[in-house]
């Protein structure tokens, strides 16, 4: 089982069962200072966070990751250059690169390609697998054909996909991404934070659910999805 909590923009908190059967709490791209965030940085002072994944180092994704890692002792996981930067800030890290599966203690992860930019290393998405649930966070990306391979190889149960356009996929491209990845559930992200990425997630939901058997769950910041 997994619990997916939306923290606004592209930030998520995920609780899943690790390979050892114990509950693990994971943050992805925790920009907690985003204008729609339901939480504050100080909320993490007494929280147990196991891992923090960062897809790329733009401020709206690296966000508060280093501060939270220092508060909680969580391991920051990212591409080599981002992990090295975080390590220099005194944070425990796991470095990787785009390619094969990483065994990180009691979870599996794969850093996937993303069509975007980054100041440190290449931008990525990430596939995270626990004992019985697999989640794909696409990071900031445009549409690319290899998304079909992500679906084929890793069969994510849940896909977290940007829909805001301008800097990433828009609705049209994200619908095609869902068709290629074929998750059981798609959750839109990276929209309505700033004027350039204003869009209607209901349009995404309508188009996906009218062309595929895949369910779209629109989460407001602070809302959660329990799966299955």
Looking at the domain assignment, is residue 169 inside a domain? yes
At 19 the pLDDT is 93
Looking at the domain assignment, is residue 225 inside a domain? no
97: containing domain:
2-220
At 6 the pLDDT is 98
**pLDDT over threshold 90, residue 46:** no
- Count other C-beta atoms under 10 Å from residue 163's C-beta: 28
Looking at the domain assignment, is residue 227 inside a domain? no
SS (H, E, C) 18-58: CCCCCEEEEEECCCCCCCCCCCCHHHHCCCCCCEEECCCCC
Looking at the domain assignment, is residue 128 inside a domain? yes
- What residues contact 129, with CB distance under 8 A and at least 6 apart? 107, 108, 109, 135, 154
* pTM, rounded to two decimals: 0.98
Looking at the domain assignment, is residue 53 inside a domain? yes
pLDDT digits (tens, 9 = 90+) for 103-148: 999 999 999 999 999 999 999 999 999 999 999 999 999 999 999 9
Looking at the domain assignment, is residue 144 inside a domain? yes
pLDDT digits (tens, 9 = 90+) for 174-218: 999 999 999 999 999 999 999 999 999 999 999 999 999 999 999
Which pair of structure tokens corresponds to residue 78? 């990212």
Looking at the domain assignment, is residue 26 inside a domain? yes
**Average model confidence (pLDDT) across the chain:** 97
- Count other C-beta atoms under 10 Å from residue 181's C-beta: 22
Task: Please give the tally of structural domains in the chain.
Answer: 1
Domain CATH number, residue 133: 3.60.15.10
Looking at the domain assignment, is residue 105 inside a domain? yes
At 73 the pLDDT is 96
Q: How many residues make up the chain in this entry?
A: 228
């Amino acid at each position: 089982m997994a619990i997916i909590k939306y923290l606004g923009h592209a930030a998520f908190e995920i609780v899943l069962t690790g390979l050892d059967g114990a509950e693990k709490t994971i943050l992805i791209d925790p920009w907690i200072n985003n204008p729609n965030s339901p939480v504050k940085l100080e909320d993490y002072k007494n929280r147990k966070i196991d891992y923090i994944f960062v897809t790329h180092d733009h401020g709206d994704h690296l966000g508060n990751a280093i501060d939270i890692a220092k508060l909680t002792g969580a391991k920051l996981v990212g591409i080599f250059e981002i992990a090295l930067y975080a390590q220099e800030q005194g944070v425990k890290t796991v470095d990787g690169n785009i390619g094969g599966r990483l065994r990180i203690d009691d979870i599996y992860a794969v850093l996937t390609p993303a069509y975007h930019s980054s100041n440190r290393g290449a931008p990525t998405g990430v596939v995270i697998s626990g004992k019985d649930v697999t989640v794909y966070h696409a990071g900031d990306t445009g549409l690319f054909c290899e998304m079909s391979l992500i679906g084929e190889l890793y069969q994510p149960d849940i896909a977290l996909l940007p829909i805001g356009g301008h800097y990433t996929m828009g609705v049209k491209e994200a619908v095609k991404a869902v068709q290629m990845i074929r998750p059981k559930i798609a959750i839109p992200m990276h929209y309505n934070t700033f004027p350039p990425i204003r869009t209607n997630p209901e349009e995404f939901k309508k188009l996906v659910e009218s062309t595929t058997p895949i369910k779209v769950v629109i989460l407001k910041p602070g809302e959660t999805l329990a799966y299955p």
